[in-house]
Structure 1
């Protein structure tokens, strides 16, 4: 109860800060303004080999003011929420706008797109910021991992965090809305050893509600099991074969679509999908729906960072690209309308074939299961893809042995059209919710 009262006081302070900023801005003529204030309060604990490596308490807030002087823009941020601090920020932002180049496409969003009544998305589930409980939570994961198997010989750390975020947004078009959210995370990474060979692996979970977080003992055992499964890894020969991106890596695989259809890359003509709007880029059975209003969703939000309402929309329908991801500026550059994507995507729901992961392995028969990706070798201009990977070699639908020190490569356009199936083992710890993905073929570089 004490925490809830504290959060209410903080929220009222932030609302007053935005109101004061808008009120002071009204004294300035020929300027439009948007104000965003965000505060995060929370704790995080990191344990390694039963030793507390660090405990952090966060109480960080910042005020962001954007002033539009006709078509010139001035942006400033500060942690000083006092009246004098706000006055100074406004003067600085206005002065910046006077010396900024004029850009016809700059300005506040169209008023009809703004969110004037934010829906309750059930994102706020606070629990007391108790350091002792946080330490216990992180310690249990590590202890359970050590107990699981004697081959678990070391820890790279066990982590727990509990954070509360308050967002308040307002502008000179009359919008003043807010929402707050909670996020809990736990993570563990363990090292296994056998025959003088060591391997590491990890597990994690994240949620809006503490009760929905994976229990620390279960997380610890899962981490130990993952690390042990990596023992005896081999480097396979260079080949072309089918591949499965596990549910942990499939969301990363689909994340490249975000960059490829972002408005900034489209208007700059720096994406390989520049001419593919309303064209098929995935198999006909594949759909991606964005739903920003899933209750307790990790990617849920009532409005974007410009105050534009978020809405359920189709990103991919029957394999066809339906939309770009646009904020106000790049939408105007393209003579289109903002899609509410300033600040990124919300929850993406990727369709599947309603088959289990085991059935997906049987469908692949022989090939590579990728469980971790390394490096950043993706070129959005050309679509060329090259990343380090680890995983498992599969024969006749059965996992045979772990694989490491390989590189997978191709072109995203071909890789997307080569998707054969997606299983129903959905990864709920990402704002791209997707099962494991089977591709018909990819280049693997090994020995």
Structure 2
């Protein structure tokens, strides 16, 4: 058996078909009396191969097609979607969306994005890199990744498996007020999760790489080695007594801290008055060395896009300047609720970059001296309304700038307002696998609740 993903061979033909379908749905909705229409049609194709303990565990192909539709009858809105693109399903989707719109209450903030904000120029962001890999080749990569991790150290006692995932997406979007787009993008991932054991017990950890182009993957063995190193480092984990101390968020959890900030300055939380950062534009949130910028047009970026989910053109924009909030994160509806205009963030932010210092992770440990490194967070104990923060955590205890032992079963607690204000430094060890690009974040002091 030698089957490959070949979506890219006919991707433009497929986009032509999707474009015709999109335009047809627009016409049919207008014929039913809709004053405004927003249509999106997409096709996602993928291959996923998983192995465990040297054996194939699963092979999955997917080809998912879908249509999403929003119609407006004046200021009344109706939405419907279907995962079936046959004519009957599309007709029912149109009927459902129009019926919903006719029977909902009017909302003066409803409607398509402002026409003058829509994207019409589409730069090549280098997001289309189909990976013609056969099942046999994907299996071999997954096996090599797992083997590299399992063979790294005798204490690696088991595996939860390794996987190779190949994905491509085609999407056409259009609105009745002049927006039309045809987009292609790819995303591929290799991951592995391992278990290690010693006299103190068993620990688990993992690693993965996610790229737009398979050419950007590191050597697959290095992914297995990284997972093994992380798993072994957790052996001998201990609890800590309750205390206050500096805390260093490793890059993969530091981006979550920035994510809480994004949520707090996003439209929905703001117009509902459900954020502790209401009315904070122009006010200090972070120390004055902090700079956060959105850069949507990075080539091969994890979240690069020419437009947001409403078709509003994206652009380079500062979010935090010298520690002060420069703007909110808004789509059209939330912007109207606040008396503002969309910032091109319907659906989220695009490549948010936190300016870093010059210290790598080792230097950040030295800078902290004695304290806690957090590498994993559990639970949902974050209130955007009050900023209260309390989450389960694990990581490492550090003394004199050196890791002493792993830590587990603790809780870290504070308030986001204080946490943001008490950031001491941003490391240069940026994790590039996310749409939020930040290095490790050192906080002056948090409360740790342990044994």
With normalisation by structure 2, the TM-score equals: 0.96
Separation in 1, partners of 2:89, 2:192: 42
Separation in 1, partners of 2:94, 2:287: 51
Partner of 1:132: 136
Q: Deviations over 1:259-313 (max 9, x none)?
A: 1011011000000111322100001011000011000000111111111111111
Partner of 1:17: 21
5 Å-filtered alignment, 1:182-331, equals: 182-195=186-199, 197-331=201-335
Separation in 1, partners of 2:413, 2:84: 49
Correspondence 1:414 to 2:418? yes
3-state SS, counterpart of residue 10 of structure 1: helix
Separation in 2, partners of 1:4, 1:394: 49
Partner of 2:376: 372
Separation in 2, partners of 1:61, 1:224: 38
Partner of 2:113: 109
Separation in 2, partners of 1:434, 1:173: 37
Partner of 2:148: 144
Specify every segment of 5 or more residues in structure 1 that has no aligned partner in the other structure, as ranges: none
Contact 1:162 1:185 in 2 (8 A): yes
Separation in 2, partners of 1:371, 1:91: 49
5 Å-filtered alignment, 1:28-43, equals: 28-29=32-33, 31-43=35-47
Contact 2:50 2:56 in 1 (8 A): yes
Offset of 1:30 from its aligned partner? 5.3
Contact 1:289 1:315 in 2 (8 A): yes
Correspondence 1:344 to 2:344? no
Separation in 1, partners of 2:355, 2:153: 37
Correspondence 1:175 to 2:169? no
Offset of 1:85 from its aligned partner? 4.0
3-state SS, counterpart of residue 386 of structure 1: strand
Separation in 2, partners of 1:30, 1:371: 51
5 Å-filtered alignment, 1:431-442, equals: 431-442=435-446
Partner of 2:385: 381
Specify every segment of 5 or more residues in structure 2 that has no aligned partner in the other structure, as ranges: none
Offset of 1:83 from its aligned partner? 4.5
Contact 2:34 2:98 in 1 (8 A): no
With normalisation by structure 1, the TM-score equals: 0.97
Separation in 2, partners of 1:188, 1:145: 8
Superposed CA RMSD: 1.4
Separation in 2, partners of 1:34, 1:302: 17
Contact 1:421 1:438 in 2 (8 A): yes
Separation in 2, partners of 1:89, 1:444: 52
Offset of 1:25 from its aligned partner? 2.9
Separation in 2, partners of 1:326, 1:426: 26
Separation in 2, partners of 1:145, 1:373: 24
Q: Deviations over 1:81-108 (max 9, x none)?
A: 3445434332322121110111111011
Offset of 1:196 from its aligned partner? 5.3
5 Å-filtered alignment, 1:77-92, equals: 77-92=81-96
Partner of 1:52: 56
3-state SS, counterpart of residue 22 of structure 1: helix
- Once the two structures are overlaid, the 10-residue window that deviates more, 75-84 or 269-278, is 75-84
Contact 2:245 2:444 in 1 (8 A): yes
Correspondence 1:362 to 2:353? no
Summarize the Cα distance change of 1:192–1:85 in structure 2 as closer, same or farther, 3 Å threshold: closer
Q: Deviations over 1:162-220 (max 9, x none)?
A: 10011211011122112111001111111001115111111111010101123220010
2:127 aligned to 115, 123, 127, which one?
123
Contact 1:42 1:129 in 2 (8 A): no
